[in-house]
Amino acid sequence: MEKHHSSDAYSLVARTAGGVPAPIRQGHDSPFLGRTALVQAMAGCLTPDSTASGSLIIGEAGSGKSALMRHVLALYGQDAYTVNVRGSAFAGRTAFGALTFLLSELDPESASHPVLILRGLTELIRERAQGRQVILAVDNAEELDEFSAMVLSQMVANRSAHMFAAFRDFSAAPAEFMGLWREGLLARLDLEPLLPPECSHLLESELRGPVSRAAAEELTGISGGNPSLLLAAAEDYRESGRVRSWDGVWVLDRARKCAFPRLASAMGTKLAGLLDGQRELLDVLALAGALPLSQVLERVDSRQVDALQEAGLLQLEHRTVPALSLVDPGLGMVLRGRIDPGRRRELLEKLPPDPVVSCPVHAARWLLSSGAKVPAELALAAARAANAEGDPLSAAAFIAADPNHLSSPAAVLELARAVLAGGDAAGTSDVVTRHRAFGASGVRSPETVRLLIVEAEAGCRAMAEQQFEAGSSSIAHSTRLEEAEQVLAVLAADGLARGESAQLERELILARARCLTQHGEYGQAADFLSGVYARGDENGRGFRALVGSWLCVAWGMTDRQSDALELAAALWPLLSDAQEPDLDAREASRAQARILHVLMISGALDSAAEFLARATGKEGAGSFGGTLHEICEGVLHAFAGRGAAATARLLPAARQLAISDPGGLLHTVSAVAAYAAALQGQNQRAEEHLRTAGSVPATPSWALQRTAAHFAVLAGNVLGSVDSAEALSEMAAKDEERGAGAYAVLSLLGAVRLGDLSQAQQLLDTASGLQGRFARLCEDYAKGAASCDPQLLLLAADAAAALGHELLSRETGERALQIAAGAGDRATVRFIHRTRRLQSGESENDAEIEDCLRGLTGRERVIARQAAAGTSNKMIATELSISVRTVEGHLYQIYSKLHVGSRRELAKLLTAGHADSSIRPNAVQGVR
């Protein structure tokens, strides 16, 4: 690399052939992630046959323009002489200011006229390049002076150089560059924000450890996918403890507050040069969320408002009235974090929040932090919004700001929801009981119905906690739903508005569906929900989708797995639609999670993986993420037997749930994580997960409790337990009594896999009563295991592979191989070996021979090869420095293990041609 003493110019030389540039590795302090398409587009401009001679890279400050250029030059700057040029406000005031470091190298006569300067600079760079490709790397290109822009553009126009130029504002680009773009000599590339997975990878690299998805998504949201802002926010979070390391995993602690000093500094360019009045308006809007335009214009000069809009800081929205708000929510968070209580009180006197337009959560926090009284109406609206956003702590704080909240059914409802969302079933009942003590119990209202629904849900959780708290008693929650239905009937008879009555009826239906399925009453749930779902969209598409998700669970857990899969495929696009007006995003995410769970239980791992892939891509962006998505991915990998992949998802999720677990998922996640750790031989960590699973309350969902029990038994088996098969058989018997056929089959399959062949007939009988490909797989497995039929086991192995059960497929194939080898079925043994060879992509005889010799020791393999080649026992003994008798003993073991009777058969086995490699044994080809 060459350096110039007064410049950033340098050259990168790589010893590679010409043509399309090949990447070379360069060391960097921080990794470059994503932007694959842009990297390839820029690299393509460096090829001889490219019509474009470079790229114009447009992106906001901190979006990674300079990093992208450095990355491309480091990878593809082959045989290149690269000159770095940087525009600046100072250099832009001087002719050729950006090229001063090169002008000093010219003769005085050559620097007397622009044409001579152009010719002199071109010759100077060509001389130093020594025949190599010249690349101009221009940063802050919008601040170039016109003469520097002219020289650079002329070098591109006459094909003397390639150029990459970075712009924050393309509208300010020099006219010469615009001309090159219009003529096609420079391609335009716009840097979009980093995608969430790219942000997650960048955070993991920066923090040097795995990051929970909850932490990654919050930081991505704050930064808007801007790499510089992302890293600044991550450092602020780390320093404040809002993101902290727990057992090597970075998790989000929402209880910690953050002042954002680094993020504020990184955003400083947005606020640079603002007048005091403009900055004050931004502070007020950050605190209020939004204000009516008319209210703002009464106190702020309209020209200042216009200037902020032109700078891209303010936006005008049409709510009930025209209203102003900040364009960037991240900027609002930064500003709020830097306004002290005294300043908040001062701003409150100048521009208070509007009760209609302002964001209730922001307005309530503003008043609370200023020591001002929060009106009851605002406290209720803020609590309702906080609960909808999944922030129960804030919701409870807002309600508590109203000293008379216990007398308000609506306020008590939001407080009860907040306490329940925090996982406190007993506290929820206590809130409702204290409300009723006010003597308002005789008053019937829609809130009365909703409070009964919340009590019923608290009762479900209390029942789940009974096994962990001795002496606890569950609430008679089933009667609460019946009472709610009676209250609704009375309200309807008394003239309750039809729309409100219909909404309450929908909420009661969903509450009943949740209660039935959570307690494992799948038959009743299916009967109840089938009629509701059959009504179509008369009650709204969103409501029907939620009903369908519960019905999908009921069908999938009983005996209608194929119907459940078909229903899931129909529901998934609707649940992924973030724009569906009557579908709450958080409810949609929960519905997606329960659909995925029942698909995994019923063995349709391939379909679950497909749905998850959709949710990860653009189709499902924003609809299904966070810890819930992370858990679903991890559990799917565990069902498939991919221990390392499961751990990579479940460990961050478990550590995040240890901070906050409102849904009671840590019990199940820990059990599944224990199995994943055990598969990898991490016994100590597996035992730790099992202890955690046994010490925390379980989720109210019977299915999730059952999943935890299933994986706890499997983990125990890997760790050395001898009664795992018996435990699975006992669980299967209880599953059948409950009517949960999907889990009965899964447990029976596990028992037979662990060697309890006495359950094979029961597995066959149970599977024959279920729908779906997994049930057919289990039938083949049961028949093959019971009759020691390798062909049926191979069918089961193939089916398992197609469904995504990788570990089951490998184990079943290995079992078929053992049975075939033990029975002397050499055709099936050869078929299995050839199939493995083809699946691995190998095509040489040596690969097939190595497969055949897999069961031999190293010494036996050597002797087998020599014997098959015709070498005598005496020669083998001489070459290996052993006795002839030892050779004969080894050959006896070889013949026994490979099920051959002579050297001729051994040679035939090891040199079998490929002519019949695709021929499957007749029994395998035939109909089951």
Please check whether residue 356 lies inside any domain of the structure: no
Are the CB atoms for 324 and 305 separated by under 8 Å?
yes
- Statement to judge: residues 120 and 202 lie in one domain: no
Predicted local distance difference test score (pLDDT) of residue 622: 46
Distances (CA, A) of 714 to 220, 673, 747: 37, 11, 10
Kindly state the average pLDDT of the residues 628-654: 95
Phi, psi (degrees; rounded to nearest 5) at 177: -70, -40
Which letter does DSSP use for residue 291 in this model?
Answer: E
Tokens standing for 482?
């019946």
Cα gap 523→24, rounded to integer Å:
62
Are the CB atoms for 561 and 569 separated by under 8 Å?
no
CB atoms within 10 A of CB 261: 16
Number of domains making up the chain: 4
Of the ranges 83-92, 129-138, 371-380, the best mean pLDDT one? 371-380
Order of all β-strands in the sheet with 314-318: 291-292, 322-326, 314-318
Of the ranges 3-7, 60-64, 200-204, 563-567, the best mean pLDDT one? 563-567
Predicted local distance difference test score (pLDDT) of residue 112: 62
Cα gap 639→743, rounded to integer Å:
13
Please check whether residue 435 lies inside any domain of the structure: no
Q: 243-246 and 249-252: which strand pairing?
A: antiparallel
Q: Tell me the percentage of the chain whose pLDDT exceeds 70.
A: 89
Last residue of a domain, one of 151, 167, 190: 190
Please check whether residue 328 lies inside any domain of the structure: no
CATH of the domain at 24: 3.40.50.300
Which letter does DSSP use for residue 920 in this model?
Answer: P
Predicted local distance difference test score (pLDDT) of residue 111: 61
Burial label for 445, CB within 10 Å (0-12, 13-18, 19+), is middle
Please check whether residue 179 lies inside any domain of the structure: yes
Please check whether residue 763 lies inside any domain of the structure: no
pLDDT tens profile 69-80: 988 988 888 778
SS3 186: coil
Predicted local distance difference test score (pLDDT) of residue 465: 65
- Amino acid letter for position 635: V
Predicted local distance difference test score (pLDDT) of residue 665: 93
pLDDT tens profile 95-106: 777 787 777 777
Cα gap 493→508, rounded to integer Å:
17
Percent composition of the chain: helix, strand, coil (DSSP 3-state, to 5)? 65, 5, 30
CB atoms within 10 A of CB 490: 12
Minimum mean pLDDT range among 295-299, 338-342, 430-434, 849-853: 849-853
- Statement to judge: residues 148 and 214 lie in one domain: no
Cα gap 485→509, rounded to integer Å:
10
- Statement to judge: residues 66 and 180 lie in one domain: yes
Distances (CA, A) of 5 to 124, 453, 525: 16, 75, 78
- Statement to judge: residues 200 and 186 lie in one domain: no
Minimum mean pLDDT range among 161-165, 578-582, 863-867: 578-582
Cα gap 251→590, rounded to integer Å:
21
pLDDT tens profile 746-780: 999 999 999 999 999 999 999 999 999 999 999 99
Are the CB atoms for 710 and 601 separated by under 8 Å?
no
CATH of the domain at 837: 1.10.10.10
DSSP per residue, 724-786: HHHHHHHHHHHHHHHT-HHHHHHHHHHHHHTT-GGGHHHHHHHHHTS-SHHHHHHHHHHHHHH
- Statement to judge: residues 702 and 687 lie in one domain: yes
Looking from the CA of 524 toward its CB, the CA atoms found within 13 Å total 11
Tokens standing for 622?
């924003």
Q: Indicate yes or no: pTM above 0.85.
A: no
- Amino acid letter for position 23: P
SS3 805: coil
Predicted local distance difference test score (pLDDT) of residue 446: 93
Are the CB atoms for 187 and 45 separated by under 8 Å?
yes
- Statement to judge: residues 137 and 222 lie in one domain: no
476 falls in which pLDDT band (50, 70, 90)? low
Phi, psi (degrees; rounded to nearest 5) at 247: 55, 40
For residue 660, pLDDT over 90 is answered with: no
Q: Which of 389, 343, 337, 381 is nearest to 359 (CA)?
A: 381
Look up tokens 């659909």; give the residue.
595
- Statement to judge: residues 49 and 182 lie in one domain: yes
Predicted local distance difference test score (pLDDT) of residue 840: 54
Structural domain of 211: 196-255
- Statement to judge: residues 112 and 250 lie in one domain: no
Phi, psi (degrees; rounded to nearest 5) at 442: -80, -15
Cα gap 484→875, rounded to integer Å:
92
For residue 6, pLDDT over 50 is answered with: no
Please check whether residue 165 lies inside any domain of the structure: yes
The per-residue pLDDT of the chain, averaged, comes to 85
Please check whether residue 88 lies inside any domain of the structure: yes
Predicted local distance difference test score (pLDDT) of residue 483: 92
For residue 174, pLDDT over 70 is answered with: yes
Residue 7, Ramachandran bin (φ over 0: left; ψ between -120 and 50: alpha; else beta): beta
H or E segment and range at residue 596: helix 585-601
- Statement to judge: residues 72 and 176 lie in one domain: yes
- Amino acid letter for position 506: R
pLDDT tens profile 689-742: 999 999 988 788 899 999 999 999 999 999 999 999 999 999 999 999 999 999
Q: 10-12 and 80-86: which strand pairing?
A: antiparallel
- Statement to judge: residues 44 and 178 lie in one domain: yes
SS3 308: helix
Question: Which residues lie below 8 Å from residue 3, measured CB to CB, with a gap of 6+?
Answer: 9, 10
Cα gap 291→677, rounded to integer Å:
53
Phi, psi (degrees; rounded to nearest 5) at 517: -70, -35
Tokens standing for 323?
């209203």
CB atoms within 10 A of CB 608: 28
Last residue of a domain, one of 255, 274, 291: 255
Phi, psi (degrees; rounded to nearest 5) at 74: -70, -35
- Statement to judge: residues 152 and 237 lie in one domain: no
For residue 909, pLDDT over 60 is answered with: yes
pLDDT tens profile 306-325: 999 988 899 998 888 999 99
Predicted local distance difference test score (pLDDT) of residue 818: 86
- Statement to judge: residues 84 and 180 lie in one domain: yes
Last residue of a domain, one of 190, 219, 238: 190
